A and B are shown apart, each in its own frame.
Chain A
Amino acid sequence: MNTTRARLQRSTGIAATLALTLGLAACGGGDGDDTPGSADGVTVADIDAVLESDEEVTIEYWTWVPDIQDTVDLFEETYPHITVNVTNAGQSADQYTKLQNAVKAGSGAPDVAQIEYFALPQFALSEAVVPLSEVGLGDLEGEYAASAWDQVSVSGAQYGFPQDTGPMVMFYREDILADLGVEVPETWDDFVEVARAIKADNPDNYITSIDPGDAGGVDSLIWQAGGRPFSVDGTTVGVDFTDEGTQQWTELYDTLVQEELVDVTAGWNDAFWRSFADGKYAMWLTGAWAPGSIRNNIPTSEGLWRAAPMPTYEAGTPMNAENGGSAITVMQQSDKKAAALAFARWMTTSPEAVLSQSQAGLFPATTGIMEDPEFLGTEDPFFGNQKTNEVFVEASQSVSSGWQYLPFQVYANSVFGDTAGQALSNATPLADGLQTWQDEAVSYGAGQGFTMAD
């Protein structure tokens, strides 16, 4: 705790410096006479009071989580004086563009917004979101999974309430592996062998695919291999894809890509789902939120799927990473911060809210539910009545710490396909591809005034 506090103090200093420099540019107005970065002096007492009072208040909430309205309805039943307007302003990067535009324009942002962990540092840097410590909510650490709390932390301060996480899981088609008579791979070496077996059986089939446009997927795989390419300390930023963990991943995937054992192709489209439906892919390595997507897109595969821990580099040493996951954040532009914070806190800590969201397909970030025997014991018929939550919770607990995202990760991710993705598509050495990505990120960071560590 001591180190946390020290880091926190240091980060407040940095935040103040940042606020000063950014304040110069922030002439768009909308902040009124507040000093940039302050949370209007809102305290925990204010937040509690807004729930108790019966003063009518309406807040705007941007999210793209499907069926979130069900959870919001629960909130409105409990606190009828607070109305929450849910808006789907686009998925991920589309929404961030709009959010960034609103921040730039000085108005037009919602009160509450969903922001994925990878994008959070960017909004933290521009002081667009309220830090929890500033309103006395910095002590909620115990409520959330360690990996989730880690991911809302930027330079020691927390900038949002963890809503869900995506510990990496290996989803596989039990029928395909059984037909081939192969075991479920436990290590990456096993995985490569299974991939070769699948290929040998039918050269049109693959063990899985990798999306050369999806930076997040590759980030997660590097994280899982122990790589820590991004480092952030205030406005000093480092990008380095040559560390040992990253090399471990590039070696593995150079093999998989060059032997054409994984299909390098865009995900999330017509062809991607059809490939699963047709049995062209035997696995999907992705976040624990995937069951909902599988159910919606490939209903014909009911009962054929199973979940297993990610393959490891060293047998018997589980090491995991996160893929996706979001925080619920309160925007500094909001003039109803107390109500907004109260809502965001309720969404991520109240047991009924967490349960409702988990039923809607999110994998919760809250520790309470992860210890709930009912949650753990749920059998999923889509997965042949497997108790998938047990696998997911274990996956969550083995996530390794210390991963950081860049304060301009949204931009860096947008040029992934131009750089590292090219190496995937052309089956050239991944280390070279990552180097071009690194160069691009470093040059952008330097151009934006960050101090780039070498």
Chain B
Amino acid sequence: MTSPTKPQHAAPGAPAPEATQPPRRTARRSRYTRQDWAGAGFVAPFLAVFVFSIVAPLLYALYLSFFQDRLIGGSFFTGLANYTKALADPLLHAGLGRVLLFLAVQVPIMIGIALFAALAIDSGRLRGSGGFRIALFLPYAVPSVVAALMWGYIYGEDFGLVGQVFDLFGATPPALLSGTWMLASIGNIVTWSFMGYNMLILYSALRVIPTELYEAAEIDGAGALRTAWSIKLPALRPALLLTVIFSIIGSFQLFNEPNVLRSLAPTTITTYYTPNMYAYNLAFNGQQYNYSAAVAVIVGLITVLVAYAAQRVSNRAETGRKSK
């Protein structure tokens, strides 16, 4: 967008359905040159893989969701029946409610901690900040399955590390794998895994704030906190939005952690604990592939809507800030 020769284009972000229409070419056909077509050549390999492994399954899911397949009686067209069933399905509602609660609580905490850590490491008031940066990022290297396995051992009320430590002090450990605590326990695993990742995105954004801004602030006599508030935070807005959107997507995709912990708490973590677990169990334990596809489509749509809403809120906040 810095060069006048380069045309403007749709901004990243809103995947509105309109955007999927073929571009209007009538008035512009003559503008394309051989050189432009070379650009298409650069994009083509990615698009081929993308269409094959993302677009096609998406369309296939749509197609499947209009059918029903029975163990006795085979497959037949059911129109929107799977969708009306899913929209009224209390199990799906329960799962969605759970991930929304998770989203509302865990994501702000995780990003808050990540933000704090990024600002702290960037502040120059920390000895060995490089070491902290690497250490905090390390859990990202741990596969979520392994992370959930480890924490599962640690959480144990009787024999886990938590239980053993409470025992040492003669206290009653919290039942971290019970219904009351489970979502928080999962939230802890996700926070542990991705805090450093988010910290790094935010930290990287802090590193590229132009030096002049700081110099100006210093001349104004602004303290560290004020600098953080009035210079760093606004500059972090895009990065924060990125982390929020990733976290929203991650919350709706929640599967590995609860699925691993299920062997420790089979009645707390039901087969429909998260929408994604529900879709998986419908398809692979119940052979209800078609209904599962409808559930997947609905969850996908909701994710897109929530991510889009987050972006709108962020933009509005930005507009408000600018117009002041």
Contact = CB atoms under 8 A, between A and B. Distances in A.
Interface stretch (B221-229, B237-245, B264-272, B294-302): B264-272
B272 A418 contact: yes
Nearest to B286: A411
A398 interface: no
Interface string A328-352: 0000000000000000000000000
A126 B153 CA distance: 39
Contact of B160 (A126, A213, A271, A444): A271
A417 B268 CA distance: 8
B267 A424 contact: yes
Contact of B74 (A21, A270, A444): A21
A448 B76 CA distance: 12
B122 interface: no
Contacts of B69: 25
Nearest to B72: A449
A25 B69 CA distance: 8
B72 A235 contact: yes
Nearest to B179: A425
Interface size bucket, A side? Answer: 35 or more
B71 A407 contact: yes
B179 to A, nearest CB: 8
Contact of A101 (B74, B160, B262, B284): B284
Given A25-B69, A271-B156, A448-B71, A266 B264 contact: yes
Contact of A449 (B70, B156, B262, B272): B70
B159 A271 contact: yes
B158 interface: yes
Interface in B266-318: 266-268, 270-272, 281, 284-288
Contacts of A414: 271, 281, 285-286
Centre residue among A268, A271, A422 by max chain B CB count within 10 A? A271
B143 to A, nearest CB: 18
Given A125-B71, A414-B271, A449-B73, A93 B285 contact: yes
B271 A269 contact: no
Main secondary structure of the interface of B (DSSP, over half): loop
Q: Contact residue range for chain B?
A: 20 to 34
A286 to B, nearest CB: 17
Contact of B267 (A213, A280, A444, A448): A213
Interface in A86-114: 93, 97, 100-101, 104
A363 B271 CA distance: 32
Nearest to A122: B71
B33 interface: no
Contact of B73 (A21, A214, A266, A418): A21
A410 interface: yes
B180 interface: no
Interface string A395-429: 00000000000011011001101100110110000
B204 interface: no
A275 interface: yes
B75 interface: yes
A21 B72 contact: yes
Contacts of A410: 285
Nearest to A424: B267
Nearest to A212: B267
Interface in A222-275: 235, 266, 268-271, 274-275
B263 interface: yes
Interface string A279-301: 01000000000000000000000
Given A235-B72, A418-B271, A211 B158 contact: no
B263 A269 contact: yes
A24 B69 CA distance: 11
B64 to A, nearest CB: 13
A417 B71 contact: no
Nearest to A411: B286
Name the prevailing secondary structure of the A interface residues: helix
A59 B272 CA distance: 38
A152 B197 CA distance: 52
A22 interface: yes
A425 B266 CA distance: 10
B41 to A, nearest CB: 35
A266 B263 contact: yes
B285 A449 contact: no
A268 B74 CA distance: 38
Contacts of B75: 24-25
Interface in A368-396: none
A447 interface: yes
Contacts of A126: 71
A25 B74 contact: yes
Contact of B70 (A411, A418, A447): A447
A64 interface: no
A341 B287 CA distance: 28
A100 to B, nearest CB: 7
B156 A270 contact: yes
A137 to B, nearest CB: 26
B263 A268 contact: yes
A22 B74 contact: yes
B266 A266 contact: yes
Given A414-B286, A449-B72, A450-B72, A275 B158 contact: yes
Contacts of B152: 269
Contacts of B74: 21-22, 24-25
- B69, B284, B288: residue with the most chain A Cβ atoms closer than 10 Å: B284
Contacts of A21: 72-74
Contacts of A266: 263-266
A425 B267 contact: yes
Given A444-B286, A449-B72, A271 B158 contact: yes
Nearest to A425: B267
B209 to A, nearest CB: 47
A275 B158 CA distance: 9
Given A25-B74, A211-B266, 11 more contacts: A97-B285, A212-B266, A213-B267, A266-B266, A270-B160, A408-B286, A410-B285, A414-B271, A414-B285, A448-B287, A450-B72
13 contacts: A22-B74, A24-B74, A212-B266, A213-B266, A269-B152, A271-B264, A408-B286, A411-B287, A414-B281, A447-B288, A448-B72, A448-B287, A449-B72
Interface of A: 18, 21-22, 24-25, 93, 97, 100-101, 104, 125-126, 211-214, 235, 266, 268-271, 274-275, 280, 407-408, 410-411, 414-415, 417-418, 421-422, 424-425, 444, 447-450
6 nearest interchain CB pairs?
Answer: A213-B266, A449-B72, A449-B70, A449-B73, A25-B74, A414-B285
